[in-house]
Structure 1
Amino acid sequence: MNDRPSTLAVFTQWTEERYGPEPALRFRSPDGGWRTRTYGELGAQVRAVGCALLGLGVAAGERVAVLAETRPQWTYTHFGALAAGAVLVPVYPTAGEEEVAWVLADSEAVVVVCDDGRQAARVEALRPKLPALRAVVLMDELPGLPGAAAESELRARASAVTPGADASIVYTSGTTGPPKGCRLTHGNLGAIQDATVPLIKGGPGDSTYLYLPLAHMLAQLIQYTTLIAGGELCYFGGRIENVLAELAEVAPTHLPSVPRLFEKLHSVVLSLAESQEGGRERFEAAVRVGVLAADGKLPEELRAEHEAAEKALYAPVRAAFGGRLRWALTGGAPIAPATLDLLRACGISVYEGYGMTESGGVISLNHPEAVRHGTVGQPIADCEVRIAPDGEVLARGPMVFPGYHANAAATAGALDPEGWLHTGDLGELDADGFLRITGRKKELIITSAGKNITPTEVEFAVQRSRYVSRAVLIGDRRPYPVALITLDAEEIAAWATREGLDLGPAPATHPAVHALVDAAVTEANATVSRPSRIRAFHILPEDFTPQTGTLTPSLKLRRGVVAERYASEIAGLYGG
């Protein structure tokens, strides 16, 4: 896009000039209703934050960290820090003490803006490890701090920022070691806007519902693309269990999400269908007919059946999302094909994309003008993609980061002399340039028989079962693959109720649950090559979480931690 702010430092000044009285933000009020802020009010809040940071002595290029949940004040702090010429360092509020200490120390953050007193106390306790830290501030109190600088000083600071300056240092959640800080410049993030805003097609009158953590790159990009087009950013109310109810209330036109939200809705609808005699068969028939219609291939003899399904299934599913949803984005993991089929049948377009923090968040994207299900789309404009001889996906373009903060060795491992980013992902490009991700290079399993196995292929196949939360394949340097499996507690409980079963205090050990999971494993095994098939599995009594260290704060699996934590269960699967 040709018309955009030169840097993110002047982003809200630019949006205020163009969209001043239009609604920019919507959020829950203390009384439970919804409140809005216009672009003019957004600009004023950002200026207040920026002036407060200057008053705290933040110099151009110094780092300001944010440790908070997704809410409007996160956005004010984000753009206020950028307007002050600072470099934003987002920190996951769910991160453990060790990770928080590492990120704040490695980035040399001088100010940490915290959600509440609890988070502030965590940071204060780490002060001996943070020699660069000068101030810990509560997010709600930041705009009103005494000693704020004049707005003229802030405007001068923002105008001096160049596209080559760092805008953020975003720490990737380390699955095998300490997180690495990805430096992203204003130019990197501008290139992403240039490539993606024309594909998303939003503007005044449109609303994007945001429940993803703003510490994550995807949520930050959605923030930019919504506001740069003049749309409204609607923040979730703070409770993840209320997201589906809020969607019906908010009625967004745009929804970025992880696949789990869509798959959860699919499970709810399927469960309702299964509660009626013959309901599952009618549900599956309605989806088949809806997909034919979505593809423009509905035969005349099925038109009456399609009209009946419109009332019974399609319209209610659209209503669950508020009735206006026309663009949904998912990434981070493949979405179950059956879930995509349901949404397509109901007239909801879900587009899969792919990227990583080091690429500014996006490398490829399906969109209305070019979509191929089962892929993550074609490379975005100005992003070159090629497949290395070993199958690794390589990317190059103006959105690719300049390197890791204070880590030349890691930078040299990620960026080659020709500027290609080595993503670490394995993939394939088809004849039309659509990219399919097939696995993770570092996660390849080589059995003792020398067979190479991509674990995610069969893991995702098992996870298509609504009763399974996670599946982890084990088998490196072992004779055959086995799996550790965790349950979706809600789905298991609902299933037990439908079946009239009492699973007792340990559902993972119940024979009926074992049979249910065995069916999922058998179905998954049928989709992969013989060496990749799971020969035995163990159902764990608890799910993986960041609190146990088995997941990163961004919910990526820490395979090494899982293997160590459940070593005895794994040994048992091999007869040990």
Structure 2
Amino acid sequence: MSAQASSTSIDPSFVDHLTPNVAVQFLDRVAASADHEAFRFPRGETWESVTWRQAGDVVERLAAGLLSLGLESEQRVGIAAATRYEWVLADLAVMCAAGATTTVYPTTNADDTTYILSDAECRVVFAEDDEQVAKLVAHKAELPHVGKVVTFDGRTDGDPANDWVIGLDDLAKLGEAYLADHPGIVETTARSIAPDQLATLIYTSGTTGRPKGVRLLHRSWVYEGTAIQVQNILDETDLQFLWLPMAHSFGKVLLSAQLACGFATAIDGRVDRIVDNLGVVKPTFMGAAPRIFEKAYARIITMQAAEGGVKEKIFKRAFEVGLKVDELKRQGRSVPFLLNLQHGLFDKLVFSKVRERFGGRVRFFISGSAALNPEIGAWFHAAGILILEGYGMTENAAGATVNHPDDYKMGTVGPPLPGAEVKIGENDEVMLRGPHIMAGYHNLPEETAKTLTEDGWLHTGDKGSLDADGFLTITGRLKELFKTSGGKYVAPPAIESKFKAICPYASQFLVFGSERNFVSALITLDPDAMAGWAEENGMAGASYTDIVRSAAVQKMVGEYVEELNGKLNRWETIKKWQILDHDLTIESGELTPSMKVKRNVVEDRNKALIESFYA
């Protein structure tokens, strides 16, 4: 057991002088950067841009519209929509009207959407389109608190003053009329918000049970943004590409950083457009979950393998050289002249083309929400693309630790944000304390008491360690660690991420074996990657199920499993495995909206198959 604690060397006194709330933070940014670009978003095939002043004008009208509907301090307003410019406008309007945003993923089913909006007692709901509106209409009787639904793209009828469903423009018109009678009301309201007032209610998608509403205060978000700003990581000259779900705390914290630092953000939540958008937008940084980097890595690797010949040989040799140069530099050793010469050549022939796929201007990516495989991180680094891993959870407003572009250790999630603390508690559990910690779970006092200590430490449920420099390494979820019948402990995430680095076709790799005499695995392959493989191997047009059941794919995956086993301890090796006939998806209920595997759901649905491994 260790009580080792860590905090950064930056003077933490900035915490005593934080902007009072998110609304004032936004208004101050509008005043300071009025004519600078704030947001960029797609309109058809082109991108439209708005300044901070233009965004501020829209937010003021929408906030006034909410006030005209009778919204009171800390009353909840739901947003059920994908990541888009209007999501940000709605959220900022709620902040400026002193309400509290309640987030709902657009993929959430009608029953869970109703549960969240009902539990939060939402007074108004922003609903993206007819599909989201339909969920609410079908359960209107169970949503007695919802007085208005405001849709971004959905159909509306009749009088905005009387109809239940109105449009975003209708809300803005209500706001204009309200402002005419109450000039200055939005700024007055914004400046009345206390730092400890509820700002956001984020319902954790959860890998088990009903989602829990996490109560996050204005000071949490202001602190998160300011803690990034004081490190001089980002400034007004940067351009972010934002695709992450804004219903997730990782997406929301990037908005806090934008308000604090003043950079512009290009927004498009369509995951299938990420790589194309990067080439057009040419951002300087982006936040993403590891799955995005895994898919990009796999796509590039398989494309090169498909080309074969001299190009593939040059590609492989380039990364051998790149990884060797990186290793020497990390060890503080000089790079031999000839090796350095080769590296320069390969940078022009190979690495520059990899960087260009991501727009060519990326200074760094930020990876969070799950562990990034170190080998994949090293591969990107060899190509001149820096991925900074960070760590946090919804319960601490997303950001607890993060590596710095000028001071990072690959394989770690960095030191704590300045002004915050990390310590290692009993059973090597990571514990957090600081201005970013939640006020508790909504309507769940017993759950809150189990998670927060009396002196303000948050139990994360993650196992980790701190090195001598205060850099945190996460080794897995305490609940996910299991012991074999032979008494050996196994950390599934470590094994699973290793397989993804080895097999470019892998989508998911789930390890089982608690209280069993050996370890087994369920495997899913990436449908896009397998479609490419099928074209190269005489199975073009075949179904995913037929492809993964083919003898050729079984043999190929078996070879990758053997390669994995060569990197594991004897008691960790995979003795039996099977490829599932479908990939895991959010829609199937096997992934959370933030792309984490619902391990218990997958295990339950494949119980007979797993049992057969041990029969």
Aligned match of 1:349: 386
Aligned match of 2:33: 19
Aligned match of 2:23: 9
3-state DSSP class of the match of 2:567?
coil
3-state DSSP class of the match of 1:536?
strand
Aligned match of 1:203: 235
Distance 1:293 1:490, change over 3 A: same
Query: Structure 1 residue runs of 4+, over 6 Å off?
Result: none
The structure 2 residue matched to 1:447, chosen from 474, 480, 484, is 484
In structure 1, C-alpha distance between the alignment counterparts of 2:140 and 2:493, rounded to whole Å: 40
- What's the RMSD between the two structures over aligned residues? 2.0
Tell whether the 8 Å contact from 1:458 to 1:525 is kept in structure 2 after alignment: no
Deviates more, 1:55-64 or 1:329-338: 329-338
The structure 2 residue matched to 1:144, chosen from 163, 167, 170, is 170
Quote the offset at 1:273 in angstroms. 2.8
1:480 lines up with 2:512 in the alignment: no
Tell whether the 8 Å contact from 1:355 to 1:362 is kept in structure 2 after alignment: yes
Tell whether the 8 Å contact from 2:294 to 2:500 is kept in structure 1 after alignment: no
In structure 1, C-alpha distance between the alignment counterparts of 2:461 and 2:602, rounded to whole Å: 21
The structure 1 residue matched to 2:198, chosen from 166, 181, 189, is 166
The structure 1 residue matched to 2:411, chosen from 374, 395, 409, is 374
The structure 2 residue matched to 1:155, chosen from 176, 181, 187, is 187
In structure 1, C-alpha distance between the alignment counterparts of 2:516 and 2:588, rounded to whole Å: 26
CA shift digits 1:292-341 (9 cap, x unpaired) = 55538432112332232122112112211212111210112222334323
1:109 lines up with 2:122 in the alignment: yes
Distance 1:503 1:528, change over 3 A: farther
Distance 1:338 1:178, change over 3 A: same
In structure 2, C-alpha distance between the alignment counterparts of 1:541 and 1:287, rounded to whole Å: 33
Residue correspondences, number: 573
One-letter amino acid matched to 1:16: V
Quote the offset at 1:350 in angstroms. 1.2
Quote the offset at 1:485 in angstroms. 0.8
If asked which structure has higher relative contact order (CA below 8 Å, sep 6+), I would say 2
Quote the offset at 1:521 in angstroms. 2.0
In structure 2, C-alpha distance between the alignment counterparts of 1:19 and 1:343, rounded to whole Å: 34
1:326 lines up with 2:363 in the alignment: yes
In structure 1, C-alpha distance between the alignment counterparts of 2:521 and 2:232, rounded to whole Å: 39
Aligned match of 1:175: 207
Tell whether the 8 Å contact from 1:59 to 1:85 is kept in structure 2 after alignment: yes
Deviates more, 1:97-106 or 1:155-164: 97-106
Distance 1:200 1:258, change over 3 A: farther
Aligned match of 2:591: 551
Quote the offset at 1:358 in angstroms. 0.7
| 1:298-313 equivalences in 2 (<5 Å) | 298-313=335-350
In structure 2, C-alpha distance between the alignment counterparts of 1:447 and 1:99, rounded to whole Å: 36
Aligned match of 1:423: 460
Quote the offset at 1:25 in angstroms. 0.5
3-state DSSP class of the match of 2:145?
coil
Quote the offset at 1:550 in angstroms. 1.4
In structure 1, C-alpha distance between the alignment counterparts of 2:586 and 2:383, rounded to whole Å: 35
Tell whether the 8 Å contact from 1:95 to 1:546 is kept in structure 2 after alignment: no
Tell whether the 8 Å contact from 2:20 to 2:193 is kept in structure 1 after alignment: no
In structure 2, C-alpha distance between the alignment counterparts of 1:187 and 1:394, rounded to whole Å: 20
Tell whether the 8 Å contact from 1:110 to 1:132 is kept in structure 2 after alignment: yes
Aligned match of 1:518: 558
Deviates more, 1:74-83 or 1:226-235: 226-235
One-letter amino acid matched to 1:94: T
In structure 2, C-alpha distance between the alignment counterparts of 1:546 and 1:270, rounded to whole Å: 26
In structure 2, C-alpha distance between the alignment counterparts of 1:426 and 1:340, rounded to whole Å: 21
The structure 1 residue matched to 2:265, chosen from 219, 224, 233, is 233
In structure 2, C-alpha distance between the alignment counterparts of 1:485 and 1:263, rounded to whole Å: 15
Aligned match of 2:439: 402
1:189 lines up with 2:221 in the alignment: yes
Aligned match of 1:467: 505
Distance 1:450 1:98, change over 3 A: farther
The structure 2 residue matched to 1:214, chosen from 222, 246, 264, is 246
3-state DSSP class of the match of 2:456?
coil
The structure 1 residue matched to 2:279, chosen from 248, 256, 260, is 248
Aligned match of 1:72: 85
1:85 lines up with 2:85 in the alignment: no
3-state DSSP class of the match of 2:230?
helix
3-state DSSP class of the match of 2:231?
helix
Aligned match of 1:495: 533
In structure 2, C-alpha distance between the alignment counterparts of 1:299 and 1:68, rounded to whole Å: 54
Tell whether the 8 Å contact from 1:176 to 1:560 is kept in structure 2 after alignment: yes
Quote the offset at 1:288 in angstroms. 3.4
Deviates more, 1:42-51 or 1:270-279: 270-279
Aligned match of 2:73: 60
Quote the offset at 1:9 in angstroms. 1.7
Quote the offset at 1:499 in angstroms. 4.0
1:571 lines up with 2:611 in the alignment: yes
Aligned match of 1:360: 397
Tell whether the 8 Å contact from 2:302 to 2:504 is kept in structure 1 after alignment: no
Tell whether the 8 Å contact from 1:24 to 1:37 is kept in structure 2 after alignment: yes
In structure 2, C-alpha distance between the alignment counterparts of 1:12 and 1:191, rounded to whole Å: 14
Quote the offset at 1:446 in angstroms. 3.0
Tell whether the 8 Å contact from 1:538 to 1:573 is kept in structure 2 after alignment: no
Tell whether the 8 Å contact from 1:52 to 1:143 is kept in structure 2 after alignment: no
One-letter amino acid matched to 1:517: V
One-letter amino acid matched to 1:144: D
In structure 2, C-alpha distance between the alignment counterparts of 1:331 and 1:379, rounded to whole Å: 14
Distance 1:444 1:343, change over 3 A: closer
Tell whether the 8 Å contact from 1:22 to 1:39 is kept in structure 2 after alignment: yes
CA shift digits 1:216-259 (9 cap, x unpaired) = 111111122123322111012x5322211111111101111122
One-letter amino acid matched to 2:60: R
Deviates more, 1:553-562 or 1:270-279: 270-279
In structure 2, C-alpha distance between the alignment counterparts of 1:250 and 1:268, rounded to whole Å: 20
Deviates more, 1:176-185 or 1:308-317: 308-317
Distance 1:311 1:60, change over 3 A: same
Tell whether the 8 Å contact from 2:214 to 2:394 is kept in structure 1 after alignment: yes
Deviates more, 1:289-298 or 1:61-70: 289-298
In structure 1, C-alpha distance between the alignment counterparts of 2:82 and 2:112, rounded to whole Å: 17
CA shift digits 1:397-440 (9 cap, x unpaired) = 11111211111011011111221110001111122221111111
3-state DSSP class of the match of 1:515?
helix
Quote the offset at 1:158 in angstroms. 1.1
3-state DSSP class of the match of 2:296?
helix
CA shift digits 1:155-182 (9 cap, x unpaired) = 2211110101011011111211111111
Aligned match of 1:438: 475
In structure 2, C-alpha distance between the alignment counterparts of 1:440 and 1:558, rounded to whole Å: 13
Aligned match of 2:354: 317
> Structure 1: where are the runs of 5+ without partners?
none
Quote the offset at 1:260 in angstroms. 2.5
Identity of aligned residues (%): 34
One-letter amino acid matched to 1:271: T
In structure 1, C-alpha distance between the alignment counterparts of 2:370 and 2:251, rounded to whole Å: 16
Quote the offset at 1:291 in angstroms. 4.1
1:40 lines up with 2:53 in the alignment: yes
Distance 1:447 1:292, change over 3 A: closer
Deviates more, 1:260-269 or 1:307-316: 260-269
One-letter amino acid matched to 2:598: R
One-letter amino acid matched to 2:27: Q
Aligned match of 1:99: 112
Tell whether the 8 Å contact from 2:25 to 2:259 is kept in structure 1 after alignment: no
Distance 1:415 1:488, change over 3 A: same
